[in-house]
Amino acid sequence: MIRSLLIANRGEIACRVIRTARRLGVRTVAVYSDADRNALHVRMADEAVHIGPSPARESYLRGDRIIEAAKATGAEAIHPGYGFLSENADFAQAVIDAGLIWVGPKPDSIRAMGLKDAAKKMMQEAGVPVTPGYLGEDQDPARLKKEADAIGYPVLIKAVAGGGGKGMRRVDAPDQFDDALDSAKREAASSFGDDRVLIEKYISSPRHIEVQVFGDSHGNVVHLFERDCSLQRRHQKVIEEAPAPGMDAATREAVTSAAVRAAQAVNYESAGTIEFIADASDGLRADRIWFMEMNTRLQVEHPVTEEITGQDLVEWQLRVASGEKLPKTQDELTITGHAIEARLYAEDPAKGFLPSVGRLEYLFLPEDVRVDTGVEQGDAISPFYDPMIAKVIVHAPTRSEAVDTLLSELNRRPISWPVRTNAGFLYRAADAQEFRSGTITTAFLETHVEEVVPPAEPPSNMWYGAAWNLLPSRPVNECRAATPWDGFHPLRLNSPESARLAIQSGDVVRVIDMLNSPNGNWTASGRDPMLMLDRGQVYSFRIYEPRGTGTSHGLHDGEIEAPMPGKVTAVEVSQGEKVAQGQRLLTLEAMKMEHALTAPFDGTVAELNATPGAQVNEGQLLVKVTPEDRPS
């Protein structure tokens, strides 16, 4: 067994690897950037090495510094986690050439599966069914559009070197193709340094089915059954589960056997995932499931596979990298119960899922189920990296029980403040009838966004509970259930003025009539502000304090500010240009995603303070639009 291990990653996955390594008696070394100097994975590791400034390209993507850190600390092996350099064949080879153990597949396997077009051709030769599309080398835009026209719309443009939804665009009509291609290429070049794309037929009732495979250096390959990752937003997985609902034995045998053949075709070692797309218009059928791609690394959603099989996949990785055979044969692997994972992100669904950065002044995560996280209360969410806070993983004897358990946990916790999370969005998505019935498709969230995004303003009954608990003489203990009536309140019942309290939540102010408030139950956390929870969604309340009568400042005034630190990747307008409501003004790249900033109303660009490639700070004025009837 490997005796010392450097984890070339950060956050949740670094902490996850450290936990298994610690159990096995393996010494761990963490690496960190400026932004992560005091991060949880740094605190957990036996030793930590600083590798550069906060931007990933200057730290976590610097393979040379990571290898130097391994040598300097005497680490025998490097575990890449997921993301960053985990699927970089050149880095894997450099690790091996440095005399270190690479905890992952062989570089040749990564190269074989790293380019989607070449991988699909290889899969066809191995007898694995693939999705119809164009995999050619000719990248001329006119040729790509011609192929898309021939395939028939809708189609998907996908980055050849892509993953995680980056460089992927759906195109529903020919007149949308050119803009979508430009955007996909730009994002692909930024994310992977490679702007080449392929074209695929878009499946109208798609489900995302993937199979966990594992190989060793002795020629053994097994699968650990399938996962369903169909609940996605912008091609990013939101909730994953195992096994896939509605998967019968015959279809499972067909898809898992295809996955094993795919892994064998590239002499695969270590953990990998074969991703398939299924046309679920008539349920899951073996003849309607096609290979999409292979991820040559451990997946974010691997915990659900661990929960139903009882296996530790990181331990498997370390044993295989040490030269051991797979811990189990195929006949020894079975499915027990059902597992679901929900990804808790630092983002605000009510504001278009904009990432939320800052210090986690309050953070209360579920305690009764598995939670994989890379942060604790008091840590900060940085604008430089993926905004994941934690993964909430539940396991139960049946799928129905697993769904109920997840909803129960999200209803009580997590609570985060002032950093916003998507917990309320996760609750509503998991509670949707389509998810409960197991018939969800990858298109669900795009077509039901209004149903699953929590309202920005708190529900009416919550205002009354907040008002009672915010009374000046009303002590509120953190995280304590409270009702409006459980204690003495100094109200003068014959004085209408004393029975009224103005409180604020966000930009909304209400005057509450304390005498007529209804009874009810709420969960309160903190005093100023007070935090209250409604089906996973946290709302903040405070006593209203007027700050003058000046006019408000924001989008309704036409001033578009940077919602977070980032880089301007495209400017679509010029100063003095007339624009229409909803028209894209510029594109900001931040938190590994592109964000379109649009005109709030018809008008004219009066100020333009952005240029392509410029780095901007949160709150920086980028564009000012004046209405048609207002002078600039």
Alpha carbon 312 to its chain centroid, in Å, reads 22
Per DSSP, helices labelled H in 126-220 are 141-151, 177-192
What pLDDT is recorded for position 516?
A: 56
- Per mean pLDDT, which range of 39-48, 206-215, 451-460, 554-563 is the poorest? 554-563
Average pLDDT over residues 361-384: 94
Q: Which residue has the higher pLDDT, 489 or 616?
A: 616
Is the pLDDT at 606 greater than 90, yes or no? yes
CA distance 135 to 197: 8
pLDDT for 147 equals 95
Q: Which residues pair with 294 in a beta bridge?
A: 274
Across 163-172, 178-187, 503-512, least confident range? 503-512
Find the radius of gyration of the CA atoms of the chain: 26
**3-state class (DSSP) for residue 500:** strand
What backbone torsions phi and psi does residue 192 show, to the nearest 5 degrees? -125, -5
Quote the percentage of the chain above a pLDDT of 70: 90
Q: How far apart are CA 200 and CA 551, in angstroms?
A: 51
Distance CA 119, CA 114 (A): 7
pLDDT exceeds cutoff 70 at 356: yes
DSSP structural state of residue 366: -
- Average pLDDT score, the chain: 88
- Confidence (pLDDT) at 487: 35
Residue 632: pLDDT band by 50, 70, 90 thresholds? Answer: very low
**How far is it, in rounded angstroms, from Cα 338 to Cα 400?**
9
Question: How far apart are alpha carbons 188 and 570 in whole angstroms?
Answer: 14
Q: What pLDDT was estimated at residue 299?
A: 96
pLDDT digits (tens, 9 = 90+) for 279-301: 998 899 998 999 988 999 999 99
| Between 252 and 514, residue with greater pLDDT | 252
Cα 190 to the chain's mean position, in Å?
18
Confidence of residue 591 (pLDDT cuts 50, 70, 90): low
pLDDT at residue 620 in the model: 86
Per mean pLDDT, which range of 186-195, 260-269, 451-460, 551-560 is the poorest? 551-560
pLDDT at 497 over 50: no
The amino acid occupying position 148 is A
Residue 526 in this model has a pLDDT that exceeds 90: no
Provide the pLDDT confidence category of residue 592 given band limits of 50, 70 and 90. low
Q: For residues 253 and 330, is the Cβ–Cβ distance under 8 A? A: no
Note the pLDDT tens digit of each residue in 428-475: 999 999 999 999 999 999 889 889 999 988 988 888 888 888 876 544
Strand partners, 79: 7
At 487, the amino acid letter reads G
- Sheet of 508-513: strand order equals 480-482, 522-525, 530-534, 537-543, 500-505, 508-513
φ and ψ of 327, to 5 deg: -65, -25
Question: Tokens for 138?
Answer: 């000719």
**For the ranges 9-23, 226-240, 541-555, which has the lowest average pLDDT?**
541-555
What value does the mean pLDDT take over residues 23-31?
98
Please tell me the total number of residues recorded for the chain in this structure.
Answer: 632
The residues near 25 (Cβ < 8 Å, ≥ 6 apart) are: 1
For 70-101, write each residue's pLDDT tens digit.
Answer: 999 999 999 999 989 999 999 999 999 999 99
Which has the higher per-residue pLDDT, 526 or 116?
A: 116
pLDDT at 240: 98
* Active centre residues (catalytic): 297
SS3 153: coil
| CA neighbours closer than 13 Å in the CB half-sphere of residue 370 | 20
pLDDT over threshold 80, residue 486: no
Angle ∠(525,529,531) on CA atoms, nearest 5: 35
How far apart CA 380 and CA 389 sit, in angstroms, is 10
Sign of CA pseudo-dihedral 332, 336, 342, 344: negative
Rounded CA-CA distance 377/390 in Å is 12
* Model pLDDT, residue 595: 77
Sorted by where each starts, the structural domains of the chain and their CATH numbers stand as 4-103 (3.40.50.20), 132-201 (3.30.1490.20), 210-452 (3.30.470.20), 460-543 (no CATH), 555-627 (2.40.50.100)
